Amino acid sequence: MMLATDIDSATASAAAAGGAEKREYVKRIFSEIAPRYDLLNHVLSLNIDRRWRRKAIARLGVERDQAGRYLDLCAGTMDVAAEISRLPGFRGMVIGADFAEPMLRAGADKIRGSRIAPVTADAVQLPIASGQLAGAIVSFGIRNVAGLDESLREAFRVLVPGGRFVILEFSTPRMRILRALYLLYFHHVLPFVGRWISGHRTAYQYLPRSVANFPVEEELARRMEAAGFSRVSWSSLSFGVAAIHVGERPTSGRK
């Protein structure tokens, strides 16, 4: 007889692999861990996630259009949206979109009095007219989307010509020793600590599995190009623990 924990673990594995369960599973677990999501991020990344996010935001190039509208995709508790809104000289608007409404609610205190509009929306079907945004960014969320290619095309669609799309996501180090240490932490230490702090049985089993099933950096860059982005580039962070991808909507050609 399978125990509930076995069933949950099997569901986490299927969701991480992109099975039919992925959308509902991801929505459910992130809704459940929302109250402790920020604490878990900072503890499990040893607080390096803050520096990674600042680097990704810098690649967005908000200084090119400080009055423009920007999208924080898979916004979670809206750390990135809040950072953008506080940039010197910023006078535009940030849309924080996430399909797990409890995550947006958990970040409500961060955005009081700011130029941020939280929106409950799926990354594969954004309620935004085409060609409206000066830039878009997704931080540690794109691997959780049930349709990666569809979400890339949606990000492309809502950007103005010349608009920039930035992806910050986990990756796997390629140096053998570092990779071994990383996998040990990611597959054993992180799930234990994540379960202990969050009280959730499978959310932090899903995390390393989702990273393992996510395209490597070169493949993600190729799929961005297939979605229409030009000038696609990527760079590693912290010896390959994470990576930043950047692409632009061409100023002419594909619409």
DSSP 99-123: S-HHHHHHTGGGGTTSSEEEEE-BT
pLDDT recorded at residue 145:
94
Closest-CA residue to 98 (of 139, 159, 131):
139
pLDDT recorded at residue 243:
97
Which tokens in the block code for residue 107? 């970040």
How many other C-beta atoms lie within 10 A of the C-beta of residue 116? 22
pLDDT recorded at residue 11:
62
- From residue 44, give the alpha-carbon distance in Å to each of 50, 68, 185, 197: 12, 34, 10, 10
| 29 close to 8: Cβ distance less than 8 angstroms | no
pLDDT recorded at residue 220:
98
pLDDT recorded at residue 70:
98
The DSSP call for residue 215 is P
pLDDT recorded at residue 14:
62
Q: How far apart (Å, rounded) are the C-alpha atoms in residues 16 and 4?
A: 18
pLDDT recorded at residue 4:
33
Burial 39-63, CB ≥16 within 10 A → b, else e: ebbeebbeeebeebbeebbebbbbe
pLDDT recorded at residue 9:
60
pLDDT recorded at residue 16:
61
68: enclosing H helix or E strand: none
Q: How far apart (Å, rounded) are the C-alpha atoms in residues 118 and 46?
A: 28
Given a cut of 50, the residues of the chain with pLDDT beneath it are 1-7, 255
* Domain parsing of the chain, residue ranges: 4-248
- From residue 87, give the alpha-carbon distance in Å to each of 81, 107, 119, 135: 10, 18, 21, 14
| 16 close to 210: Cβ distance less than 8 angstroms | yes
| 4-248 carries CATH number 3.40.50.150 | yes
